[in-house]
Amino acid sequence: MSRVGIMGGTFDPIHFGHLSAAEQARVRFGLERVIFVPNGQPPHKKSYPVTPAEHRYNMVRLAIGSHPDFDTSRMEMDRPGPSYAVDTVRALREELGGGVELYFITGADAIAEILTWRAPEELAESCDFIAVTRPGYDLRPLQSVTDSLPGARVHLLDAVGVDISSTEVRARVERGESLRYLAPTPVVRYITTHELYVS
């Protein structure tokens, strides 16, 4: 049975932490490919104005470049309304057929909130989760997920080496600081050209 990763996130913007986590997940879990799916409308309200999906998608495409096993999908952006993970997994299941195991990869903080997502039981039955943690992550919120959804298959991935967040990247742009070595050069250029993250 082949395995496919679904890298879900807002990617505002994508940075080396995301890319490194996706690559580590690919190798560790033997994923045939990893599909990056930038959300259209994040289902949970954000504390900042989210950048239009088209820009976030363009940056994801630039970031993955020519990686032979990375791909990107417009699925969530092109679907009207909030981007529910259960709809995405359902659609990919239909597209790829039953002979594929799906792994939904995202931040551990996001996965810890799964009980508040749409149809968590159906989601937990249809895919495994890879929860990407940062150094020093408190595992207790994830434990409560597996306690409440006993069938959920949640795997931890301690992403090594790159402790970056999109929040920090946006703050650096706002302060006029360098993004070199935090995100791929074409992404940094895209941010500059389109004057993203400056008020």
Please give the residue ranges that form the binding site for ligand NAP (CB under 6 A).
Answer: 7-10, 17-18, 21, 39, 42-44, 83-86, 105-107, 109-110, 117-118, 132, 165-167
Decide whether 96 or 157 has the Cβ nearer to ligand NAP.
157
Decide whether 101 or 103 has the Cβ nearer to ligand NAP.
103
Neighbouring CB atoms inside 10 A of 140's CB total 8
- Cα–Cα distance measured from residue 199 to residue 51, given in angstroms and rounded to the nearest whole number: 12
Token representation of residue 139: 């595992």
Q: Is 134 exposed, middle or buried (0-12, 13-18, 19+ CB in 10 A)?
A: middle
DSSP-derived pairing of the beta strands 33-38 and 70-72: parallel
Kindly state the smallest distance separating residue 83's Cβ from ligand NAP, in Å: 5
Kindly state the smallest distance separating residue 113's Cβ from ligand NAP, in Å: 6
Report yes or no: 16 and 34 within 8 Å, Cβ to Cβ. Answer: no
The neighbouring-strand residues paired with 102 are 4
Kindly state the smallest distance separating residue 184's Cβ from ligand NAP, in Å: 15
Decide whether 85 or 101 has the Cβ nearer to ligand NAP.
85
Kindly state the smallest distance separating residue 5's Cβ from ligand NAP, in Å: 10
Decide whether 8 or 99 has the Cβ nearer to ligand NAP.
8
